[in-house]
Amino acid sequence: MKPFDTNKIKNVAVLGHAGSGKTTMVEAMLFEAGIITRRGTVEEGNTVSDYHEIEKQRGNSIFSTLLHLQWKDNKINLIDTPGFDDFVGEVISALRVADTAIMVLNAQNGVEVGTELIWEYTEAFQTPMLFAVNQIEHEKADFDRTVEQAKQRFGDKVTVVQYPYNQGAGFNAIIDVLKMVMYVFAPQGGKPEKLPIPESEKDKADELHNALIEAIAVNDEGLMELFFEKGTLDEEEMAKGLKDSMIHHDIFPVFCCSAKADMGTGRILGFLHDIAPSALDVPPVKRESGKTLECKPNAPACLFVFKTISEPHLGDMSFFKVYAGEIKPGTDLVNSINENTERLNQLFIMNGRNREQVNVLKAGDIGATVKLKYTATNSTLFEKGHPIHITPIKFPSPRITVAVSIDNKADVEKLSHALHTLHAEDPTLIVEHSKELGQILLSGQGELHLAVAKWKAENGYKVKFDYIEPRIPFRETIRKAVKTSYRHKKQSGGAGQFGEVHMLVEPYYEGMPAPDGMTVRTTEEIELEWGGKLVFNNCIVGGAIDAKFMSAILKGIMEKMVDGPLTGSYVRDVRISIFDGKMHPVDSNDMAFKIAGAMAFKQAFQEANPLILEPIYEVDVLVADDAMGDVMGDLQTRRSIITGIEAEGHYQKVKARAPLMELYKYSSTLRSLTQGRAKHQQHFVEYAQVPADIQQQLIEKHQKEAHEEHHH
């Protein structure tokens, strides 16, 4: 394909709820443009877009796919995105590089929850957008109801450009109120015949035509004056006004089609060609410095990597948008994150898995390259001497965490490599090797998201593993002060071990007074890396224990702080004062005092009314009114406290505080409680006391596990 100039390139993200027909629409568009000679179907698993094995198995898009076509003198890059909220990372990265979005609505189901969730992202990115009401050929199709719902949810800027003349099973004609013609399709779809609008539809079409003109004129004073003078606008004036209105999010035009029957997709391509903004028209991209970067072909080269894939048959591929200048094979660019130089040996434009080599990509275009060594998603690559750092894509935080359990310990290395590669491809998958819990944790957007990650790891990297519930990072502390002593004495042949330690162990709090009746010689305040403090006082009088043994005593205590006596969790907020003890002129050494310190502390801790603390999370649930009662009822069974309810658009936002223990797989429960019409976010807020009955269960469970391990 020949190179295209920036003003002839249109980058379009195809969005919509799962099952709205995005992949089928893209297939029809490729067919209309002559890129493919026959249309595949999702059912047969032979579409250009859903080419991954798992997508064929499931019959749904899971990854975003880059495609392109030529329409008249424009190059249109399409990114087909998945509709499940679990794969929102793919949607966000597509929106980052798109200049226009098509939101596909299913004419049977109207505006679905997936539509609304994706809409929020298009609002955040301010992406110019049009609606395509698809599946008009279905007997349950209801175009008017779908438009009505769109207006309710997204406001009056939703403006009809086309409506079906005869929706349902016999659908074959569309009335276009921008061009004021009727398109009639042959049974096999394709290029329609243009006919005058029938008498019976004249009034409705005129009314919608005027509504469209007014919607355009309202946002542009110049056009408003023209409109008052002439009472109408010609096609050129309307086209310019429409483009500006779309760029400013003032109009969301509505089209209709049957992607399955290939009716109406060509007209949408025509609209993308004539009116949708090009890479030149949309506001410039933001940079980390706070400045922006104009999309200019005659500037130093700069590109941004928005997606990476690592596939057995394709190798590592980086997908990028050229934001300035032009790129040719053999170009050397510098990575803004690590300042390494990368050579782009080959440049490709993509259609699903099919790649075509090209000799140049100009500003505004989207392409791919292979085998970059130092470059991941969110990297900016710039021409040496012209440093630019494009603001990275901000991916949403995870909603579900599982632990990864592997039978074959020899595979741990392999597993770790697989998971880190998956994270590089999909930054919404987060891998953590938790030293504290002794587990590998994998976090993502939902169970389906994690299931796909598992499938990819097992199939791509041949490593078998399971998901289990992650351990909870409890903390342990005490509630009362205790004095205790411990003598460690060991005689073995020659030299023995001897050390005796007397200590006062107290719950620590900010600003507490000095220990009663003791003289503090030295104090160490240790900020614990897991939160809270340990304060260690040397209150020895008259040299009962040499100062040189103090660090050994502290070491012994620290070993117990890492492995709390109740559940093996980290201990926090304790003050320890060493006030007496005994030494032996020959047998006392560091080892002896380390053991004495550890044992004295363990003993005191058990007597000091010990307490397990659990992590409490703030949970925000966005839910439709009618499901709110169920959601609140369920939250209350999770030992949570509802802290507030506020309206947010058409939703209620329920705020609650819940123990992490009670939130495992919450996203799945929420999905089934609300038929997918809710989403939630959670983040850590504080540690709080565990109820007594649960504390007892946790201690027993820990003892049992320790016992089993001991006998293992």
Residue 625, Cβ density class (10 Å: 0-12 exposed, 13-18 middle, ≥19 buried): exposed
pTM, 2 dp: 0.86
- Whole-number pLDDT of residue 638: 95
- Whole-number pLDDT of residue 410: 83
Residue 150 has pLDDT above 80, yes or no: yes
Contacts of 172 (CB under 8 A, 6+ apart): 166, 184, 185, 186, 187, 263
- Whole-number pLDDT of residue 45: 80
The percent of residues in the chain predicted with pLDDT above 70, rounded, is: 99
Give the CATH number of the domain where residue 418 resides.
3.30.70.870
Query: Are 40 and 178 members of one domain?
Result: yes
Structure tokens of 301? 């080269």
- Mean predicted confidence (pLDDT) in 403-407: 92
Structural domain includes residue 712: no
Residue 467 has pLDDT above 90, yes or no: yes
**Dist CA 633 CA 623 (whole Å):** 13
**507-562 per-position pLDDT tens digit:** 999 999 999 889 999 999 999 999 999 999 999 988 899 999 999 999 999 999 99
Say how many Å lie between the first and final Cα of the chain, rounded: 66
**Dist CA 445 CA 86 (whole Å):** 5
CA distances from 633 to 35, 462, 651, 654, 694 (A): 53, 43, 17, 12, 21
**Dist CA 225 CA 351 (whole Å):** 45
Give the CATH number of the domain where residue 617 resides.
3.30.70.240
- Mean predicted confidence (pLDDT) in 314-332: 91
- Whole-number pLDDT of residue 312: 65
Structural domain includes residue 79: yes
Work out whether strand 430-434 and strand 439-444 pair parallel, antiparallel, or are unpaired.
antiparallel
**Dist CA 662 CA 654 (whole Å):** 17
Other C-beta atoms within 10 Å of 13: how many? 30
Q: Which domain, by its residues, includes 510? A: 476-609
Q: pLDDT band at residue 625, thresholds of 50, 70 and 90?
A: confident
Average pLDDT, whole number, for the chain? 91
- Whole-number pLDDT of residue 228: 78
Query: Are 449 and 484 members of one domain?
Result: no
Of 218-222, 239-243, 254-258, 619-623, the least confident? 218-222
Of 51-55, 233-237, 370-374, the least confident? 51-55
198-202: long-range pairs with CB below 8 Å, 24+: 198/165, 201/165, 201/175
Query: Are 452 and 590 members of one domain?
Result: no
**41-88 per-position pLDDT tens digit:** 887 888 887 767 777 777 778 788 999 999 999 999 999 999 888 899
- Whole-number pLDDT of residue 712: 66
Residue 411 has pLDDT above 90, yes or no: no
Structural domain includes residue 699: no
Query: Are 525 and 627 members of one domain?
Result: no
Q: Count of domains in the chain?
A: 5
Three-class SS state of 18 = coil
The last residue of one of the domains, among 468, 503, 527, is: 468
**Dist CA 164 CA 174 (whole Å):** 5
Residue 314 has pLDDT above 70, yes or no: no
- Whole-number pLDDT of residue 535: 96
- Mean predicted confidence (pLDDT) in 350-375: 91
The residue type of 541 is V
Strand partners, 663: none
- Whole-number pLDDT of residue 96: 95
**7-17 per-position pLDDT tens digit:** 999 999 999 98
Query: Are 441 and 508 members of one domain?
Result: no
Residue 313 has pLDDT above 70, yes or no: no
